[in-house]
Amino acid sequence: MARKKKDAEQKVKKVNTDGIVGLVGSTTEQAISETLEINYMPYAMSVIVSRAIPEIDGFKPSHRKLLYTMYKMGLLSGGRTKSANIVGQTMRLNPHGDAAIYETMVRLAKGNETLLHPFVDSKGNFGKVYSRDMAYAASRYTEAKLDGFCNELFRDIDADTVDMVDNYDATMKEPSLLPTTFPNVLVSANQGIAVGMASNICSFNLAEVCNTTIALMNNPDHDILETLPGPDFSTGGQLIFDEVVTREIYSTGRGSFKLRAKWNYVKSANVIEITEIPYSTAIEAIMDKVAELIKVGKIKEIADMRDETDLGGLKLTIDLKRGVDPEKLMQKLFRLTPLQDSFACNFNILIAGMPRVMGIGEILEEWTAWRTECVRRRLYYHIQKKQERLHLLKGLERILLDIDKAIRIIRETELESEVVPNLMIGFGIDEIQANYVAEIKLRNINKEYILKQTKAISDLEKDIADLQSTLNSSRKLKNVIISELEQVAAKYGKPRKTEIIYETEEIQDEDEDEQIPDYPVTLFVSREGYIKKITAQSLRMSGEQKFKEGDSLAFSTETTNKAELLVFTNMYQCYKTRLNDFDDGKASQLGDYLPQKLGMDPGETVLQVVLPGDYKGFVLFFFENGKGAKVPLSAYETKTNRRRLIAAFSDKSPLVSAIVLNEDKQIVLYSSDGRAAIVSTAQLMPKTTKNTQGVSVMSLKKKAQLKEVCLLENSGITNASRYRNKNIPTAGALLKETDTPEKQISFDI
């Protein structure tokens, strides 16, 4: 029996591949969906709601627990204490271990330079946000206290402005949110990775955020871009401004800002000094990439690069070889290294326990609603306190009628428990008032003291009336919040650290030609926007061109690997690229899909692809409404080889065709009602504006549209005089069967 009992006690849990969980000899089945629901879902929700995603006050629970612990330790007004002490005290609220708590403190500290407005006033080595290898010192070596800026977090914490909840073991209370007097959610950068979602919020300038909030409260239709031009990062650098991208991020909460380093050239030493870098990178990552490029021979202009960061701040120094143009070198470094980087935004915030991705306007609207409720609760709390005080003073005022009577009642009462009831009967006051009177010291039961106390009755009544008036008026509540925002902006506002470069398109390297090999290629473009670049050798060995089902060849032409392409889209934009950006392909491949390759917007499709050559000719745009525009190709030639050109052509009518010509020729226009017209491109005067509407070329009948355009030589028309007209606009003539094209009309390049 003893042996059997011992064997039973040594049974262990067993999990097999069939999902059966239990004891050996006693198994039970559990569906995998049930296991996920019971075990994984609570974990996932806990990570989302209680750990990784910030709330409307701009803090994650770990931040809030640390700051509240420091507040309760008296570190808002007192001196610094050892960080290890703070970490230990915080573990009463945060059970995730001392290492995680200290890492949180490091990120909030002034010494780490992560935040524009740090919450922790630190002393000692807290590392640097811009350095990957500069480790922070252990908590026993550093000291910290709350920065004075935290007054704006805890000003109303004791006025019942937020809910207080139990900590993890219900031994003390902690705030569910911190009643910030400004939209900290946009001022402090925050990043978190949860289960199935993430959050990445960039920081904005405090004064600009406050001014934007005030403007939106006064006018919900306010253009946010006027007061909030872009994010502001603690590491400085430069923001490459793109209005379209910025408005998209402000509207949807998703997108990415482009950042680049700030540098200057010291001519006397022939060196480049980099003093500010993008927030999203580190000095070690930059130096590693530069060293790699030098090793493979892509950068030959640099003699040496070193990190000269000291107590004065960040500095990377690049020694140049003789005769090197610093501007061209920096353009190359921006293109090839993290000296130009992007910050991907994902404004995912917990609102009432639910994660929501919101734009700037929606975030500020939610913050304003939440802050209004905080102010309401504060006003109600102060009203209650003043009413309680007023109630006590009203009872004290009754004693003025007969102080001697009060003394006599107390003196003649035999039992202590009957003092309060007798006072209630003697003066007609309630129990609370009677208790207050009974607790007054004997030395204070005199007319002077009582008169001095009761003088405050009228002031209290006036204060209560004013507070109640504010509480009942949405306009006055709004003014209270606006006044607080103005005070915060005036007291703590700082100049921008990140400089804004006002350019509307993405910037690329100006000097790419040196690295691009040139050789003959044949270009194939399909009607659905697939592109293939095939070398002469590969073309000789290939068979029939392969296309996606339902797709076909739009055009093909012989060109070179260095040739540039202009891709016009249905969203009136032009993407500028080079053939060397595409890999050499084969006839058996589908090729590269242009919308994906060029990073087009959702729903954006290719309308026309043209080769501008040396930009000496012009491009003709023809629209469904019968209008045509003649724009010099030089209008699309950019010094910085910008990748995307907005407002590339007119958006007044859908584009039918874009034709590039080096000299004037005769073209044929076909309408949807069976008419054709021949005109000379010399009849169209060149326009200097890219998005010009042009002039009427073909007069169209009601409901008719211009549907096709081609060169006369490719049209198949035999009787050209029938359709030719010296003046425009022209109605053309009905197309005869003998003049219909024998082959399908294709793009003309």
Residues annotated as part of the active site:
141
Task: Quote the CA–CA distance of 254 and 457 in Å, as a whole number.
Answer: 56
Contact 743, 712 (CB under 8 A): no
Beta bridge partners of 81: 144
The token duo for 246 is 């910025």
Task: Quote the CA–CA distance of 232 and 187 in Å, as a whole number.
Answer: 9
Task: Give the helix/strand (H/E) hosting 154.
Answer: helix 151-154
CA gyration radius for the chain?
A: 37
Backbone φ and ψ of 44, nearest 5°: -60, -45
In sequence order, what DSSP letters do the residues of 18-41 get, joined into one string?
T-EEEETTEEEE--HHHHIIIIIH
Cα 489 to Cα 149, 183, 200, 494, distances in angstroms: 12, 11, 24, 8
Task: Quote the CA–CA distance of 82 and 99 in Å, as a whole number.
Answer: 15
**Matching residue, tokens 């501007």:** 327
Task: Quote the CA–CA distance of 661 and 682 in Å, as a whole number.
Answer: 11
Instruction: Count the neighbouring beta carbons within 10 Å of the beta carbon of residue 739.
Output: 18
Task: Quote the CA–CA distance of 558 and 562 in Å, as a whole number.
Answer: 12
In sequence order, what DSSP letters do the residues of 218-246 get, joined into one string?
H-TT--HHHH--S---TT--EEEE-HHHH
Task: Quote the CA–CA distance of 187 and 486 in Å, as a whole number.
Answer: 15
Cβ neighbours for 639, distance < 8 A, ≥ 6 positions apart = 510
Task: Quote the CA–CA distance of 406 and 529 in Å, as a whole number.
Answer: 98
Contact 481, 217 (CB under 8 A): yes
Cβ neighbours for 309, distance < 8 A, ≥ 6 positions apart = 128, 131, 283, 315, 316
Task: Give the helix/strand (H/E) hosting 567.
Answer: strand 564-569
Task: Quote the CA–CA distance of 605 and 526 in Å, as a whole number.
Answer: 12
Instruction: Count the neighbouring beta carbons within 10 Å of the beta carbon of residue 747.
Output: 20
Q: First vs last Cα of the chain: how many Å apart?
A: 95
Contact 670, 735 (CB under 8 A): yes
Helix (H), strand (E), coil (C) string for 487-511: HHHHHHCCCCCCEEEECCCCCCCCC
Task: Quote the CA–CA distance of 696 and 75 in Å, as a whole number.
Answer: 75
Contact 264, 248 (CB under 8 A): no
Hey, which bits of 688-739 come out as E strands?
Answer: 695-696, 706-711, 733-734
Buried b (16+ CB within 10 A) or exposed e, 573-610: bbbbbbbbebeebbbeebbbbbbebbebeeebebbbbb
